[in-house]
Structure 1
Amino acid sequence: MKTVADLLGRLQALHADTAQTPIFNPVFQLSLELSRLLERGDLTLDDCEAMIAQLEGEALQHRADRLRSMTAPVAPAANDAALAELFEEADFAAFRMRWERPQLHAVFTAHPTFLLSPAETDAVAHAAASDGEIAIDPASATAGARPAITLDYEHQQAMAAIANAQDARDRIVSGLLSHAAREWPADWLRLQPLPFRFASWVGYDMDGRTDIRWHVSIGFRLAEKAQRLARYAEALGRIDGKHPLLSELQHAASYAQERAEDFSADLSDPAALSVAANRLTARDPRKLLSLARYIDALEAEAATSQRPRAVALKTLAAAMRADGLGMGWIHFRVNAKQLHNAVRRRLDPEGSLDLASKGAIVHLRNAIAEVTPLRVNFASLAIESSTAIRQFVAMAQILSHIDADAPIRMLVAECEEPATVLAALYFAKLFGVADKVDVSPLFETETALEHGGRFLDALLEEEEYRAYARVRGRVSVQTGFSDAGRFVGQVPASLAIERLQGRLAQAMETNGLSDVAALIFDTHGESMGRGAHPGSFADRLAWPLSPWARRRFVRAGIRLEPEVSFQGGDGYLYFATPELALATLTRIAEARPAETDPQAPADQFYRRTDLSLDFYRAVRDHQHQHLESRTYSRAVTAFGLGLLNSTGSRVSRRQSDINADREMSLRQIRAIPHNAVLQQLGYPVNVIAGIGTAADGNYDELAQLLRGSERGRQLIRLVRSANALASIKTVAAFGELFNSAYWASRPYRGMEDHLSEACEALAEYLVKDDRIGVFRRLASRLRVDALKLHRLLELLPDESPMRNREAVRRAIGVCQALRLTLFQHMFLRAVSIPMFSRVNDISRDDVLEMVFTLRVEEALAELRRAFPTSFPQIGDFDLTEAADYPDGSDDGYQAIRRDFIEPIERAYTLSRRITTAIANQFGAHG
C-alpha cells in the first residue's frame, strides 16, 4: 500500500467489515496496517510524504471547487450581465434609494486563519477564478515557502484583498452610472453610488493581545493613507494624465508614505518619537485631512464632461466618498474589562463603584453630561498605560492628523453591561471624538446573549446615548459567532443572536430612534463552526442576519446597515483575484442583505414557538452539557494545540493562560483553535450535536415544521453540510492511540517481535492514561445523538446534497489513517530512546508526555539538549601538554539523532501537512 488509490480501496473494503462487527474501526485498522508496514521497512516516510502530497493537492482542488461554487459565475462578463439585470428599476428615485446606501459593509479581519501558503492561496484562487476544469498541480502549489505569519504579513494580505474589492466596486459603480446615464439622462449626474463599504481591524484589534504598540496602529493608518492616495492618483491618471489634481494627489501620497516610515521605526526613545510626531503634526502643503474638495471638484467637472469621462470622474469621486483617506474605515477593538479598568482609574479610584449597578449608570450619565474635552498629543499616547484610554487617544490623533472625515468604530468585546458602553462614550467625549466614533458593544458570551434584550432596553433609555446616536446617525452593535458558537453551539447561537437583533429593532422603535440606522456587524468566520453557512452566498448572508430579523427593522421604519467579516486568509480568498472579487460582490448584490420584503408570509418557525423554542433550548442544553463535561473538555484538549498549524500572529491560547498548567481547559484556548481541533478530530460537535436529541420523541411534528420553514431548512442545510464530513469512528480512533491493551497485544503471536520491547513500554506507560476512556465515552455520546439525528434527517429532503460525498469522506479517512500511522511511529520512536539523566528538571517521562500530547517541538528541544551532536573537540584547544584521550572512538549521539529524533521530527512535520489537507476538505480553518 504505497499509493493513495491503494489506501482508498483498502479503507472502502475495511468499511464493509463494520456490517459484521459494528464496533470495528476501519480508520484505525488502516493506520495499524500502515504502521506495521512502516515499522518493518516496507513503507518509508518518503512513501508517506508522496501520498500526503497527493492528498494535499486533491484537498486544494476541493477547496477551489467549493470557492467557485460559492461565487459562481466567476467570469467578469457573466457578472456584468447579472449586475445589469439588478440595475433595472422603475424610476430614478427608487434607483437612488437602492444604490446610494451600502448593501453591505465588509470588514477584513485578521483572526488566525492564514492556513495556506501564498503559493497554495494563488493555486486555489486562480483555479476557482478560471473557466476551465479545476486542476491544481500539487508540486507547484505546495512548493512555495510558508512565510512567518506576522502582523505585518496579515496587514499586507488584508490590503491586497481590499484593493481587489475596491476595483470590483469601481466596476460596479461605473456600470451603475452608465446605466443611469442611459435611462435618466437629465437626472443621472445627481447619483452618488455607494453600494459597498470596506473596513479592517488588522493592526487595531487589541482584544486579547498586548503585542500591538500604539505607534504600529498609527503607522498602519498612514501606510493605508499612502496606498489609497496612490490608487486615487493612478485612477485619475488613467482618466487624464495631465489632470491638474493629479500632482496634488501624488505629492500627498508621498508625504503620507514618509510619515508612515517615521512611525514604522522604533519610537521608544522620546527624542525619536518627538521628531516623528512633530513632522506629522506640522503644517505641510502636501498634508491632506479631507477629500471633500477633491470630491466636489470631480463632481463639478463631471457635470461639464462627455459621458465616458463623466462616468470615470464620478466613479473616482464615489470611491473617495466610500473610503476617505484610507483603504477603508478602521475598527479599533478593546475588551470590556480594559474599559472597566480605565473608567475606574478615571472616575472611581477607590474601586467602590459596581459597574453592573444602576448607580454606575447614574454616575456615568452625570460624568458624560459634565465632561470637559481634553487636548492630547503623541506624548499622551506614549505615556498612557491603559489600553482602552490609549485607543481613544490614538483615534483622536488619527482624526486630527491623518483623516478628519472617516468615522472610526470602537468595538467592545465581552460587553455585558450598559455601563460599559457609557464608559466608552465618556472617553469618546473626554477626548473630543464622540462625533466621529461609533461605539459598538459585542454580544457573544452566554450572559450577553441571555440578557442582551434588557441590556439594549436600558442603554437606549439613556438620553445621553440617544443624543449621541442621533449625532452619529446610527446605533451600532456587534454580534459574534465565535465564543457564542463554542459555548452554546452554532445553531442555538444563531437563533439567540437573531432574537437579540429583533429586540434591538423593538428597543429602537420604543425609544424613538427609528430615525437613525441600525448598523449590525455580524462577525462570523469562514468555517461552519464560526457561523459561515457553506450552502451558498445567500445562506451565508441570511444565516447571521435572517429575513425575519430584517423585517423587524423594516416594519419599524429603521434603515438597516448590515456588516459582515471576511476573516483572515480564508476570508480573503473571496477577494484573491479581480475576478473573484467581482463575483463575490455581485453575489452579495443579488442577495440584497440590506433589504427584505416586509409583506413576506410569516415563517412558521417563528409562529410555532411551542416547537421552535423547545428545539432551541434542547440543542442549547445538549451543547452546554458537552461544554461542562469533563469528557468533552479532556478529549478536545488531549493533544493540546499540537494538531494545528500556526495560522496567525495572535496567540491561540489566551495570554493570561500562557503559564497555566499543562492540562488545558476549554476556556484557555480561543474559539478558532477549538473549532479547528474539532475538525481535526473528525466531528464538528458545536454544529451537529444536540439536533438529534432535540428531536427525540417528536420527530414527525418537528420535521414538518422544519420542512415548511425557510429558516428551518437553512438550519438543516448547515447541519447536513457538517455531518457529511463528520466521522465518529475517527474520534474513537484517536483514543486507541492511548489504549494500553492495543500496544500490549500488537506484538502478539510474534508478528512484530522487533517492536515487542517498545510496545511493552508503551503498554506499561499508558495503563494509567485516561484518554482511551475519554474518547470512547465521547464517541458513544456522539453516536447516540447521531442516531437520533439520522432519524430526523430521513424525514427531511436533502436540498443540496454534497457532490462526491463518499469520495471526500474516504479522502479524509485516508488522511486520518496516515496521521495516526505517523503518531504511532512517533510514539514507538519516543519510547525507544535510551534513558538520560534529568536535565533542567525535565525527565524522560516528561519528554514522553510531551510527545503524547503533541508538544513535539518542546520534546525535540529537550532531546537535542540531552543528546548533543555538536561539542568541543580536543583539536579546538591550543595546549602544550600532550593527550591521548579522547582517541576518536566517540561519535557522540549521531545515531540517536538519526534513528529517533529526526524520524519523530519528520513524522510530526508530515502530520501537520495532513492537518492542512483536512482543513481544506472542511473548507476553512477553525
Structure 2
Amino acid sequence: MKSVTDLRERLQDMHSRTAETPLFNPVFQLSLDLSRALEAGELSLDDLESMICELETTALEDRAARTRRLLALPGTDTWRLGPDFADFGAFREHWEQPRLHAVFTAHPTFLLTPDQASSLASAITGDGSVADAACTATEDRPAVTLVYEHQRAMRAIGHAQDARDRIVGELLSNAAVSFADRWRDLKPLPFRFATWVGYDMDGRTDIKWYDSIGFRLAEKAQRLRRYVAKLEKIDSGHKLLGTLHPALAYAEARAEDFAQDLSDPVDLSDAANRLTADHEHKLLSLAPIIAALEEEAQQASEDHAIKLLTLAAAMRADGLGMGWIHFRVNAKQLHNAIRRRIEGGDTLEIGSKGAMAVLRKMVAEVEPMRANFGALAIEASTAIRQFLAMAQILHHIDADAPIRMLVAECEQPSTVMAALYFAKLFGIADKVDVSPLFETEAALEHGGRFLDALLQEDEYRAYARNRGRVCIQTGFSDAGRFVGQVPASLAIERLQGRMADAMRANAMSDVAALVFNTHGESMGRGAHPASLKDRLEWPLSPWARGRFARGSVRLEPEASFQGGDGYQLFETPELAFATLAHIADYEWTEHASGEPDPFYTRTDLSLDFYRAIRTHQREHLESQTYSRAITAFGLGMLNSTGSRVSRRQSDVAADRSMNLRQIRAIPHNAILQQLGYPVNVIAGIGTAAEGNEEEIAQLLESSPRGQQLMRLARNANALASIKTVAAYGELFNSAYWASRTYRGTEDGISHACQALADYLTKDDRNGVFRRLASRLRVDALKFHRLLEHLPAEDPLPEREQTRRTLGVLQALRLALFKHMFLRAVSLPSFSRANDISRDDVLEMVFTLRIDDALAQMRRAFPTSFPQLDDFQMDEPSDWPDDEGEGYGAIGRNYIDPLERAYMLSLRVTTAIANHFGAHG
C-alpha cells in the first residue's frame, strides 16, 4: 500500500464488508493498516507525504472542476449581459443602478497559499489540471496578517474593477448600436465594490485607529494610480493628468505618513497636520473630473468616447478609493458609548421605552461637534473612535463616497438610534449608512417588529430619506451555526419580507432597501454550491424580492465574497469577468410568469417542515454530546487561515468543557467538514419529513425553493460520511489500543499501546463520538427515506471517486494521529515544571495543541545546550565523558516525528477543504 491507487482499491474492497458486518468501519480499518505499516517501518513519513501530495493535487483539481461548473466554463467570450431593451429609458434604468454590491470581506478563510490559489485559477480557466508543484508544504504558508488580508482584498477588487470596465465598455458599445442618438448620456453602474478589511472592529482589538486611516489612504493612492494608468492609456497627454498626477503623489505621501506607528503624539501631530492642511493637490472629490470626462465624450469619436465614459463610470462607482468601506462595531460597544452621553446612563436599560424616548430627543436636538486627530487618538470608546475615524476620512480623504456602519448583534431599534446620534454629533449623518446586523435566532425571530418600530421613528425616516436607502445586514455564519443553515436561510427570507412590509406600511417606498447578505463560499455558511443562480437566490430569494417589488420598493442587493475562498472567483481578470458577467446576466426581478411557489402557499406543510428542522438543529446545539465531539480536538485540526482567530484555552482542563460559543462560526463549520459530516446543513431534514415523506417530497419537488433546498442538502450529503465521524471516536477507544497488540503482533509498540489503553480508560470522547454518530445515522436513514420519494439526482458527476478520495485522506490523517499518540506516550518521563505534567502534555497532543506540547517536550529534553568547548578554561576537565549528544535521540525518535506528522495532517486538512470547495 504505497500508492494512492492501492489505498483507494483497499478502501473499496473493505466497503463491501459493511454488508456482512454493518458496524465495520472501512475508514478506520484502512487507518489501522497504514498505522501498522508505518510503525513496522514498511511505510515512512516520506511515503505518506508523497501520497498526500498526490491527493492535494487531486483535491485542487476537484475544486477547479466544481468552480468551472459554477461559472459554466469553458464558455464563450460573448455574454448576453441582461435582457434586450427596445427603449433607452428602460435600458438606462436597468444599468444605471448596481446589479449587485459586492463586499470583499476578510473572514478567516485564507486556506490556500498564493501559489496554490494561482494554480487553482489556472486549472479553472485552463484544462482543469494542476501541477504537482502546487503541493506547498505547510511551513511555506505565508503568515495571514491583517496587512496580507488587505493586500489580497485589494488585488481581488482590482481584478473586479477591470472586469467591470470590460462589462461597461460592452454595454456602451451595445448602446451605441441600439440607441445611437442617446447612448453618450448613459452612466452605467452595473456593480459597486466595498470592503471591511481593516475597518471591522467587531470581536478584535488588534486594529489601531490609525491602521484604518492608513489603509484608506493607501487605497486612495492605489485607486488614483489605476485611474492615471487608464487615462494615460486613453491619451498620454490628456489635460486631466495634470490634476491626477500631483494628486496621486500627494496621496502616496500621506499614505506613507500613516503607514507607521503613530502612537507617539509628536509623530501623529506631524502626520495629521500634513493631512488636514489645505493643499492644492489634496483631491477630495472626483465630481469635476467625471463631469469633464463626460463632457469630452459628447464630442469624441465613438471608440474614444466609450473609453472616456468607462473611466468616468469607474470613478462614479468607486470614488477616491478601491471601493466603499464598511466599518463594523458591536451593539454592546455602542451601548457603552451612548451611556456616557446620558445622565444616569450607567443604569439605563437601552432597550427600554424610556431609553428610546431619551434617544429620540437626543437625536432630534444634537448639535454637531468638531473633532480632530488628537480627539481621535485619546478617545477610549471603540464605537466613538469609529465615528471619529469616519469623520476624518470624509473630511480629508474622500468627501463623496459614503461609509457603512455595520452594527453586530443589533437586536433593538434604540441601538440604531444611538448610532444615528453619533453620526449627527460628528456631522457625518449625510454620508454614513447605519446598518443593523440580524444573525442571532432572537434577532431573526423579532427582526420584523424591530424594523417596524424603527421605521416609525420620525428622525430615522428623515435620515433614511436623506440617504436614499434603508440598510440592513443579514448574517449566515452564526445563524447557520446556531439555527442550522436551512432554517437560517428561511428565517432570513422571512425577515426580508417583513422589511418590505414595514417599509410599505410606513410610507417608505420612496427610498431603496439595501439588503447585505453576509455569507461565505461554502455550503456551511450560506453560499449555495450548485450554481451562481442558486448562490444569488439562496440568500435573497425570488419570493423575498417579490415582496419588495409589490411594495414598489427598489431593492439594492449586496453580498459578500469572503476571504481567500471568495477572492478565488477574482483571482484573475478572466475569473472576475466570468463571475461578474454571470451576475450581470441574472435577472433580479421576480419572474412574472408561472404559478406561485407552493413552498409559500402550502404553509401548513412548509412551516412545520422548517420548524422541525430548526428544532432538530437546536437539539444538537444544546447537546453536550455534540459540543464535546465538535471540540474534542480543539481547533488543532485546522490551519490558521486569518488574522482574526479564535483563542484556544490556556489551561488543559478547559478543553474538556469548551463551549461552542468559544469558537467562531467558520472554525465550527470547518471542523464539521474535517470530521466528515456537515451537520448544520443536512441534519434534521429527514427527521422533519418523518411520517409524511410523500407529501413533503411532493412539495419539495413542485417548489423551486424546495428544489433549491434539496440541491444544497444533496451537495452536502454527497461528501458526508458518518463512518468517518465514528472513526475519530475510535482514536480514544481504550479497548482498541489494548487489543491492537493482543495476539503478540506489533511487539515494538505494545508498551505504548498499553499506556494509551490505561490513559484512555477515563476518557469520554469515544462514547461521545459513538452517540453522535448514532444520532446522525438515525436522522440520515430518514433523510434517505425522503430521497426515495424524490427524483434521482447526483449533484457531483465524480461523486463515488470523490468519496473514496475523502476516505483515503481521512484514513491517512487518522494514521498520522495514531503515530502522534504513540510517539507522545512513548516519550520518557520528565519532571513537572510550571504546573505542567506529562499527562498534561499527553492531553495537549490528544486535543492537537501541538505547538504547546512541543514547547513542553523541548523544554524537558533540550537538544541545544552549552558545550565544554564554549568556555576558555585554564583548568582541565575530564567531565562530561560522553559524546555530548544529550537528548538528541529523543528529539529524532519522538519529538521531530510528532511534529512532522502534525504538519502532514494539516496538509490533509487543506485537501479535504478543497473537496468541499471552501474552508468552513
2:379 paired residue among 381, 384, 396: 384
Say if 1:126 and 1:261 are closer, same or farther in 2 by CA, change over 3 A: same
What code does the residue aligned with 1:646 have?
S
What code does the residue aligned with 2:437 have?
L
Q: Which residue of 2 aligns with 1:63?
A: 63
Say if 1:52 and 1:323 are closer, same or farther in 2 by CA, change over 3 A: same
Say if 1:257 and 1:656 are closer, same or farther in 2 by CA, change over 3 A: farther
Where 1:884 maps in the other structure, the secondary structure is coil
* Percent identity of equivalent pairs: 70
Where 1:412 maps in the other structure, the secondary structure is strand
Is the Cα–Cα contact under 8 Å of residues 129 and 577 in structure 1 kept in the other structure? no
Is it true that 1:250 corresponds to 2:245 in the alignment? yes
Is it true that 1:4 corresponds to 2:4 in the alignment? yes
Say if 1:387 and 1:498 are closer, same or farther in 2 by CA, change over 3 A: same
Q: Which residue of 2 aligns with 1:314?
A: 309
Is the Cα–Cα contact under 8 Å of residues 123 and 141 in structure 1 kept in the other structure? no
What code does the residue aligned with 2:477 have?
S
Say if 1:290 and 1:179 are closer, same or farther in 2 by CA, change over 3 A: same
Counterparts of residues 195-344 of structure 1 (less than 5 Å): 195-344=190-339
Is it true that 1:478 corresponds to 2:473 in the alignment? yes
Tell me how far 1:71 sits from its aligned partner: 1.1
What code does the residue aligned with 1:113 have?
T
Q: Which residue of 2 aligns with 1:840?
A: 834
Q: Which residue of 2 aligns with 1:611?
A: 605
Say if 1:554 and 1:620 are closer, same or farther in 2 by CA, change over 3 A: same
How far, CA to CA, are the matches of 2:711 and 2:304 in structure 1? Answer: 47
How far, CA to CA, are the matches of 1:599 and 1:408 in structure 2? Answer: 38
Equivalent residue pairs, number: 919
Where 2:430 maps in the other structure, the secondary structure is coil
Is the Cα–Cα contact under 8 Å of residues 485 and 686 in structure 1 kept in the other structure? yes
How far, CA to CA, are the matches of 1:195 and 1:916 in structure 2? Answer: 35
Where 1:522 maps in the other structure, the secondary structure is strand
Where 1:199 maps in the other structure, the secondary structure is strand
1:777 paired residue among 771, 778, 796: 771
Is it true that 1:855 corresponds to 2:853 in the alignment? no
How far, CA to CA, are the matches of 1:582 and 1:706 in structure 2? Answer: 34
What code does the residue aligned with 1:825 have?
H
Say if 1:683 and 1:140 are closer, same or farther in 2 by CA, change over 3 A: closer
Of 668-677 and 884-893, the range deviating more from structure 2: 884-893
How far, CA to CA, are the matches of 1:231 and 1:191 in structure 2? Answer: 23
Q: Which residue of 2 aligns with 1:14?
A: 14
Of 227-236 and 489-498, the range deviating more from structure 2: 227-236
What code does the residue aligned with 2:20 have?
Q
What code does the residue aligned with 1:62 have?
D
Q: Which residue of 2 aligns with 1:189?
A: 184
Tell me how far 1:663 sits from its aligned partner: 3.5
Say if 1:591 and 1:645 are closer, same or farther in 2 by CA, change over 3 A: same
Counterparts of residues 484-523 of structure 1 (less than 5 Å): 484-523=479-518
Is the Cα–Cα contact under 8 Å of residues 290 and 324 in structure 1 kept in the other structure? yes
Counterparts of residues 528-567 of structure 1 (less than 5 Å): 528-567=523-562
How far, CA to CA, are the matches of 1:537 and 1:391 in structure 2? Answer: 35
2:427 paired residue among 410, 422, 432: 432
Tell me how far 1:512 sits from its aligned partner: 0.6
Q: Structure 1 regions of 5+ residues with no counterpart? A: none
How far, CA to CA, are the matches of 1:96 and 1:569 in structure 2? Answer: 35
Tell me how far 1:646 sits from its aligned partner: 0.3
Where 2:407 maps in the other structure, the secondary structure is strand
Is the Cα–Cα contact under 8 Å of residues 554 and 598 in structure 1 kept in the other structure? no
Q: Which residue of 1 aligns with 2:88?
A: 92
What code does the residue aligned with 2:530 have?
G
Q: Which residue of 1 aligns with 2:900?
A: 906
Is it true that 1:142 corresponds to 2:136 in the alignment? yes
What code does the residue aligned with 1:820 have?
L
Q: Which residue of 2 aligns with 1:592?
A: 587
Tell me how far 1:141 sits from its aligned partner: 4.8
Q: Which residue of 2 aligns with 1:372?
A: 367
Say if 1:14 and 1:661 are closer, same or farther in 2 by CA, change over 3 A: closer
Say if 1:364 and 1:661 are closer, same or farther in 2 by CA, change over 3 A: farther
Q: Which residue of 2 aligns with 1:647?
A: 641
Is it true that 1:804 corresponds to 2:769 in the alignment? no
What code does the residue aligned with 1:105 have?
H
How far, CA to CA, are the matches of 1:905 and 1:312 in structure 2? Answer: 56
What code does the residue aligned with 1:784 have?
V
How far, CA to CA, are the matches of 1:140 and 1:605 in structure 2? Answer: 45
What code does the residue aligned with 2:201 have?
M
Say if 1:333 and 1:71 are closer, same or farther in 2 by CA, change over 3 A: same
Say if 1:348 and 1:844 are closer, same or farther in 2 by CA, change over 3 A: farther
User: 1:44-94: per-residue Cα shift (whole Å, max 9, x none)?
Assistant: 00000000000000000111111111112355xx243433xx362121011
How far, CA to CA, are the matches of 1:575 and 1:820 in structure 2? Answer: 35
Tell me how far 1:495 sits from its aligned partner: 0.2
Tell me how far 1:877 sits from its aligned partner: 2.3
Tell me how far 1:800 sits from its aligned partner: 5.3
Of 745-754 and 9-18, the range deviating more from structure 2: 745-754
How far, CA to CA, are the matches of 1:265 and 1:700 in structure 2? Answer: 65
How far, CA to CA, are the matches of 1:321 and 1:419 in structure 2? Answer: 34
Is the Cα–Cα contact under 8 Å of residues 655 and 847 in structure 2 kept in the other structure? no
Is it true that 1:813 corresponds to 2:807 in the alignment? yes
How far, CA to CA, are the matches of 2:228 and 2:178 in structure 1? Answer: 30
Say if 1:715 and 1:505 are closer, same or farther in 2 by CA, change over 3 A: same
User: 1:703-751: per-residue Cα shift (whole Å, max 9, x none)?
Assistant: 1110100000000000000000000000000000000000000001111
Tell me how far 1:102 sits from its aligned partner: 0.5
How far, CA to CA, are the matches of 1:787 and 1:800 in structure 2? Answer: 18
Q: Which residue of 1 aligns with 2:879?
A: 885
Is the Cα–Cα contact under 8 Å of residues 121 and 573 in structure 1 kept in the other structure? yes
Tell me how far 1:599 sits from its aligned partner: 5.8
User: 1:758-812: per-residue Cα shift (whole Å, max 9, x none)?
Assistant: 1110000000000000000000000000000000011112455311100000000
Q: Which residue of 1 aligns with 2:630?
A: 636
Tell me how far 1:182 sits from its aligned partner: 1.3
How far, CA to CA, are the matches of 1:660 and 1:152 in structure 2? Answer: 32
How far, CA to CA, are the matches of 1:248 and 1:659 in structure 2? Answer: 64
Is the Cα–Cα contact under 8 Å of residues 92 and 184 in structure 1 kept in the other structure? yes
What code does the residue aligned with 1:453 have?
G
Say if 1:519 and 1:801 are closer, same or farther in 2 by CA, change over 3 A: same
Is the Cα–Cα contact under 8 Å of residues 402 and 431 in structure 2 kept in the other structure? yes
User: 1:340-393: per-residue Cα shift (whole Å, max 9, x none)?
Assistant: 111112224551211111111111000001111110111111001111000000
Q: Which residue of 1 aligns with 2:447?
A: 452
Is the Cα–Cα contact under 8 Å of residues 717 and 800 in structure 1 kept in the other structure? no
Q: Which residue of 1 aligns with 2:699?
A: 705
Where 2:543 maps in the other structure, the secondary structure is helix
Is the Cα–Cα contact under 8 Å of residues 411 and 442 in structure 1 kept in the other structure? yes
Say if 1:151 and 1:591 are closer, same or farther in 2 by CA, change over 3 A: same
Where 1:725 maps in the other structure, the secondary structure is coil
Is it true that 1:751 corresponds to 2:749 in the alignment? no
Say if 1:355 and 1:690 are closer, same or farther in 2 by CA, change over 3 A: same
What code does the residue aligned with 1:104 have?
L
Q: Which residue of 1 aligns with 2:437?
A: 442
How far, CA to CA, are the matches of 1:442 and 1:49 in structure 2? Answer: 44
TM-score, length basis structure 2: 0.98
Q: Structure 2 regions of 5+ residues with no counterpart? A: none
Is the Cα–Cα contact under 8 Å of residues 35 and 824 in structure 1 kept in the other structure? yes
Q: Which residue of 2 aligns with 1:112?
A: 108
